[in-house]
Amino acid sequence: QNLEGKTAFVTGGASGIGLGIAKALLGAGMNVVIADIRDDHLAAATAELAGGDRVLAVKLDVTNRVQFAEVADAAEARFGKIHLLVNNAGVAVVGPTELATYADWDWVMGVNVGGTINGIVTMLPRILAHGEGGHIVCTASMSALVPVGMTTIYSSGKAAVTSMMECMRPELEGRGVICSAFCPGAVQSNIADAAKTRPADLADTGYAEADKRRASGGNFMHLYQTKEQVGQRVLEGILNDELYILTHSEFLDGVRERGEATTAAVQTHLPENPEYKQTFAMLFRNPAI
Ligand code: NAI
């Protein structure tokens, strides 16, 4: 698949993983739109990418549907068609579930899940309309595949995003749009700074004390993969049409255990109804039903 001259739209593309992805896509010859809520990140990323007129930096809050459509219009006005959407913008809160306020849930779900929904609703019809084929990648997380304590809000949102790609993949691949879930382990980034973008009306958090304790609990960034490493991995996953774009081999046992546990839980002692099996497969592959 030749990406040269095609256009990518990367949300949260001005920092960390999104910037690493933007770099790799630029290196593959694509035009790249980086869309981000932070002006300072946009300015620094534009300088770091040094992509000249192949880079468009735009301000976008992915939770703002009107703005998302405006920015998509601006991207099309500049580059023509958009072929690749990377729903990557994301934020996190971590800590015991019972401390979470509604505002903690609403902020993280609003950006990580709502922002992805807004990306799909804004961009998918545009990608299908030009008929040149395309790709949607969502940055989920390894925590969508391997259970991790203290991350209920974050991980369940990432599981939702992974599931969107799993559902959309069989639905859209026949029409030339490939869907991928990118599920990395830890990557060097600015996500610890995410609260700076938290809206005032969702400021009420149950994690202020937990955040202070975590901030003094040590910095493990040197153990994490770099944005360039994962950016290249995403590019490779796109070129290979991979559904699950994974990174860290440290999680192999966890991924395997989950697969084995769900497989073992299937009630194989009950007789299978072949008619139900066939009907189920048929119902969910036929857009007319
Ligand atoms: P980052 O903070 O370095 O980059 C995220 C970018 O998204 C920032 O530039 C931020 O300004 C932007 N952003 C935040 N809210 C936004 C909004 N409402 N609208 C538009 N842009 C917004 O963080 P990182 O780590 O690069 O995160 C990128 C994605 O990777 C997120 O979805 C995160 O959940 C995911 N992820 C990160 C991992 C890590 O270890 N860093 C591991 C697994 C997944």
pLDDT digits (tens, 9 = 90+) for 151-210: 999 999 999 999 999 999 999 999 999 999 999 999 999 999 999 999 999 999 999 998
Residue 275 lies in a domain: no
pLDDT at 255: 98
Structural domain of 57:
7-252
184 lines ligand 1 (CB under 6 A): yes
Measured CA to CA, the distance from residue 25 to residue 179 in angstroms comes to 17
Looking at residue 150, the DSSP 8-state letter turns out to be: T
**In CATH, what number is assigned to the domain containing residue 233?**
3.40.50.720
89 lines ligand 1 (CB under 6 A): yes
Report CA(135)–ligand 1 centroid distance (Å).
Answer: 20
Residue 56 lies in a domain: yes
Measured CA to CA, the distance from residue 28 to residue 4 in angstroms comes to 6
Contact 250, 185 (CB under 8 A): yes
Q: Please say if 224 is a catalytic residue.
A: no
Render pLDDT for 195-241 as a digit per residue (tens, 0 to 9).
999 999 999 999 999 888 888 888 899 999 999 999 999 999 999 99
**Region of residue 205 (left: phi > 0; alpha: psi -120 to 50; beta: else):** beta
Residue 257 lies in a domain: no
The whole-number average pLDDT for the span 63-83 is 98
Report CA(13)–ligand 1 centroid distance (Å).
Answer: 8
Which SS3 state, helix, strand or coil, does residue 76 take?
helix
Measured CA to CA, the distance from residue 35 to residue 78 in angstroms comes to 14
Residue 287 lies in a domain: no
β-partners of residue 246 are: 183
Instruction: Indicate which residue of 154, 207, 224, 276 is catalytic.
Output: 154
Residue 288 lies in a domain: no
Residue 261 lies in a domain: no
Measured from the CA of 19, which atom of ligand 1 is nearest?
Answer: 26
Measured CA to CA, the distance from residue 22 to residue 231 in angstroms comes to 7
pLDDT at 289: 63
113 lines ligand 1 (CB under 6 A): no
Looking at residue 186, the DSSP 8-state letter turns out to be: -
Residue 90 lies in a domain: yes
Number of independent structural domains in the chain: 1
pLDDT at 241: 98
Which SS3 state, helix, strand or coil, does residue 183 take?
strand
- Of 91, 122, 145, best ligand 1 pocket probe by most atoms within 8 Å of the beta carbon: 91
Report CA(237)–ligand 1 centroid distance (Å).
Answer: 19
139 lines ligand 1 (CB under 6 A): yes
Residue 271 lies in a domain: no
Beta strand 244-246 with 177-183: parallel, antiparallel or unpaired?
parallel
